[in-house]
Homo-oligomer: A and B are copies of this chain.
Amino acid sequence: MSAQVISGVRPWGRELADVEIAAGRISAIRPAGEGRAAGEIVDGRGRILLPSFSDAHVHLDSSRIGLPFRPHTGEPGVWNMMLNDRRNWRDAERDIAWRTTETLGRMIARGTTSVRTYAQVDVDCGLEKLDGVLAAKEAHAGRADVQIMAFPQAGLLRESGSAEILARAMESGADVVGGIDPCALDRDPATHLDIVFGLAERFDAPIDIHLHEPGELAKFSAELILERIEALDLRGRVTISHGYGLGTLPDAQLRALLERFREWDVAVATVAPPSPLSALLLAEHGIRLGLGEDGQRDYWSPYGDCDMLERTWQLAFTNGFRRDVHIEHAAAIATMGGRSVIGSAPALDGVADRPGLAVGDPADLVLVPGDTVAAAVMDRGRDRTVLHRGVVVADQLELAAAAS
């Protein structure tokens, strides 16, 4: 079998190159040849080559992508929004497996092949949503790596049986133990976190805790989390999702907290809200940072469109990035940063690190149009080609039929 070649691309926007692939990995990168390369599987046409996107925080199970737009009926607050979802999700036009599979397919078609998705588990849905997410993972097994977090969206203490369902989810195929707003939602943070950390120990699983709490309360919850990380020596095993409330702390307090994140290698996942935790401050502290789409056009929010390049723009915009090195850093977060959270790549080494395209790296790639990487993020162009393990899984925003 001759070498497989992506011809005429610019890795991370640099010089035009031919990229060879063998056994699903990048096997060589050569200056671009004349004309079509032997073994060409993708004509790069001068596009930019990036590692494929990694969505480190997405709720596949709640998505209504591909269904008729539905007016938003939720009231503010996590509990109210959870109740709104609970009242409505079973009445969706298509079942949960269709919705998770459709949404994951659209994400792949736009360039995402590495995913940490949440599957809500509670006394209402039991494991139905987890089963839906597992179905999507299976349907797209050849196109994307999917890690599943069992997510107690309704808390662990407000409804009897919640903790048991979370444990069953871990027995049933979930990879990561979830937690949420230990103070604000369950009103008993120590017990909430002890359950989460207990399950993580029992299943030898990483932890990912949604933290929507404001300023000082978010700091208190983060400290309780750190205390348990230290007691159980869970360095590198915990992600805090959102955490935007920490961004309102006085600078010295925030920096002191981030020093502890650094010491215990606590990762952060953001969905790029209007007022995010500063991505540069996190980078300064060497903290693994991933980006995600969150819910997408669901019962919680009408935002989100399966497009991590759009979300990369949003990350740059909300961080006020103008310099090219910073906008490129947003792209690095959206690709390799997510993998550093999910656990398949190390942390970015500062804001100028551009990993993921070296010889030996998995050929999980996306081609995007643009003069430069920063221009590609600003343009959010649609002329894309997506590869997973060296196989073209999507082109022009459409899945390749025979990829799995």
Contacts and interface: CB of A to CB of B under 8 A. Distances in A.
Contact of A297 (B71, B301, B378): B378
Nearest to A301: B322
B302 A317 contact: no
Contacts of A71: 324, 372, 374
Residue of A74, A305, A317, A370 with most partner-chain B CB within 10 A: A317
A324 B73 CA distance: 9
Contact of A375 (B302, B318, B322, B379): B302
A296 B275 CA distance: 22
A68 B378 CA distance: 13
A72 B378 CA distance: 13
A173 interface: no
Contacts of A68: 371
Contacts of A320: 274
Contact of A274 (B72, B301, B318, B327): B318
Nearest to A374: B302
Copies in the complex: 2
Contacts of A374: 69, 71-72, 302
Given A74-B322, A301-B322, A303-B378, A274 B317 contact: yes
Interface residues of A, number: 27
A302 B380 CA distance: 13
B275 A69 contact: no
Interface in A312-334: 314, 317-318, 320, 322-324, 327
Contact of A302 (B72, B301, B303, B322): B322
Contacts of A375: 69, 302
A292 to B, nearest CB: 16
Interface string A359-394: 000000000001110110011000000000000000
Interface string A63-98: 000001101101000000000000000000000000
A301 B322 CA distance: 6
A305 B275 CA distance: 22
A229 to B, nearest CB: 31
A273 to B, nearest CB: 9
Contact of A72 (B74, B303, B323): B323
Contacts of A324: 71-72, 302
B274 A378 contact: no
B378 A69 contact: yes
| Residue from A68, A69, A74 with most neighbouring chain B CB atoms (10 Å) | A69
A69 B387 CA distance: 27
A85 to B, nearest CB: 13
A317 B274 CA distance: 7
B69 A372 contact: yes
A320 B71 CA distance: 15
A62 B69 CA distance: 38
Nearest to A380: B305
A317 B371 CA distance: 27
Given A274-B320, A275-B274, A318-B274, A302 B69 contact: no
A305 B72 contact: no
Given A274-B275, A274-B320, A302-B324, 10 more contacts: A68-B371, A69-B372, A69-B378, A274-B318, A297-B378, A301-B322, A302-B322, A302-B374, A303-B378, A314-B317
8 contacts: A69-B371, A71-B372, A74-B322, A274-B318, A274-B320, A297-B378, A302-B378, A303-B378
The 9 closest A-B pairs by CB, nearest first: A69-B375, A69-B371, A71-B324, A72-B322, A274-B318, A274-B274, A302-B378, A72-B323, A69-B372
Interface of A: 68-69, 71-72, 74, 274-275, 297, 301-303, 305, 314, 317-318, 320, 322-324, 327, 370-372, 374-375, 378-379
